[in-house]
Amino acid sequence: MLYVVIVFLWVALLLYLLLGGADFGAGIIELFTSEDNKAKARKTMYHAIGPIWEANHMWLIIAIVFLFVGFPVIYSTMSIYLHIPLVIMLLGIIARGTAFAFRNYDAVVDNMQKLYNKIFVYSSFVTPLFLGIIAGSAVSGKIDVHATTFLSAFIFSWLNLFSVAIGFFTVALCGYTAAIYLVGETNDPAERRRFVRKALQMNIAAVVFGALVFISAGADNIPLAQWVFGNPVGIAAVAAATLSLIVLWYLIYKGRARMLRLLAGFQVTMILLTTTYKHYPNIVLLKNGEYLSLIENKGADKTIEALGWALLIGSLFILPALIYLIYSFQRKD
């Protein structure tokens, strides 16, 4: 059952990156949209993120519960040494959700709508930024469980060039994913061209920040290049992601939007696979070569077995309901 739990944990993280990332990306796209086009873009994005807005944070909650119940040592270590970026990320989620609800369902339309809009777009930027910083910190080897000062224990564990670069790469990736999703969401040619431009801009930003991630990894002696290119799985995943990117832009050029979302989702899946496969099962890499493993630091066998069965049975109810939710929201009038 341990491997069932690990697979569900990886899938939950992937789905949060795909669905929650696209959700955040909608706010990022709105942040970089001109004032003249924001109202129209906002309407399109609201229709697009409706189904995932209802369910996207479920995947984050599931991942946190997995760690809390099945891997308490990993959960407590990350909660202690990364509590500052975790709190900022959670505050961003709360602020974003509150602003989204008030700006769409507030009974009174007044100047407060401007405040709601600003909170929504800026928290849409901050939240994936710190989500990426947390992910980068987990594999950076900067977390020092033997630290004797506040700065070394709770600041330098995440405030470093590598983690911040991954944070900005995550922002660009979310914006790119959202823009690709939105290309097929509108029938207005002018608006579609605008989303294509946003997708291209975010694609370029992702490449730039991706290069910065590798540069900062080399400067901090993090073997990221070996993780990605040092095994057949990583090489195959990079090749598949690159090929799918070429196909995606060819389809955009030809005006075919049906397969775009699948291709964008496939690219994100390949990125996550390349960055997690090589150092599996070591989910957290600590300073001085120490690590926390999903195998060695698992909870009690009875707990893992109960969690595994709960996941298998629960998925029979959750996944069909989620598919129907997405289907019902995407039905045209």
Cα separation, 126 vs 79, whole angstroms: 19
What three-state secondary structure class fits 254? helix
**Mean pLDDT along residues 38-66:** 75
The pLDDT, as a whole number, for residue 175 is: 92
- The share of the chain scoring above pLDDT 90, in percent, equals 48
Cα separation, 127 vs 174, whole angstroms: 11
Number of domains in the chain: 1
Burial of 133 (0-12, 13-18, 19+ CB in 10 A): buried
Cα separation, 185 vs 199, whole angstroms: 14
Amino acid letter, 241: A
With a cut of 60, say whether residue 333 has pLDDT above it: no
For residue 167, give both structure tokens: 């944070």
Cα separation, 54 vs 131, whole angstroms: 20
With a cut of 70, say whether residue 332 has pLDDT above it: no
The pLDDT, as a whole number, for residue 36 is: 75
Lowest mean pLDDT among 8-12, 49-53, 56-60, 70-74: 49-53
Scan for tokens 């969690």, then name that residue: 307
Task: Name the residue range of residue 274's domain.
Answer: 2-330
Mean pLDDT, the chain, whole residue set: 87
Q: What is the pLDDT of residues 284-331, one digit of tens each?
A: 999 988 999 999 999 899 999 999 999 899 888 888 877 777 677 665
CB-CB contact of 330 with 51 (8 Å): yes
The pLDDT, as a whole number, for residue 329 is: 63
| Residues facing residue 286 across a β-bridge | 143
Name residues whose C-beta falls within 8 Å of residue 167's C-beta, 6 or more positions apart in sequence: 128, 129, 130, 131, 132, 133, 136
DSSP state of 285: E
**Mean pLDDT along residues 251-255:** 81
Amino acid letter, 224: L
Q: How far is CA 29 from each of CA 45, 137, 179, 212, 274, rounded to the nearest angstrom?
A: 9, 26, 7, 22, 26
Name residues whose C-beta falls within 8 Å of residue 129's C-beta, 6 or more positions apart in sequence: 167, 168, 170, 171
Cis peptide before 281 (omega within 30 of 0): yes
pTM above 0.85, yes or no: yes
The pLDDT, as a whole number, for residue 53 is: 62
Q: Which helix (H) or strand (E) holds 328?
A: helix 301-330
- What is the maximal distance between C-alpha atoms in the chain? 61
With a cut of 80, say whether residue 108 has pLDDT above it: no
Amino acid letter, 6: I
The pLDDT, as a whole number, for residue 255 is: 73
**Mean pLDDT along residues 181-207:** 85
The pLDDT, as a whole number, for residue 260 is: 85
Q: How many residues does the chain have?
A: 333
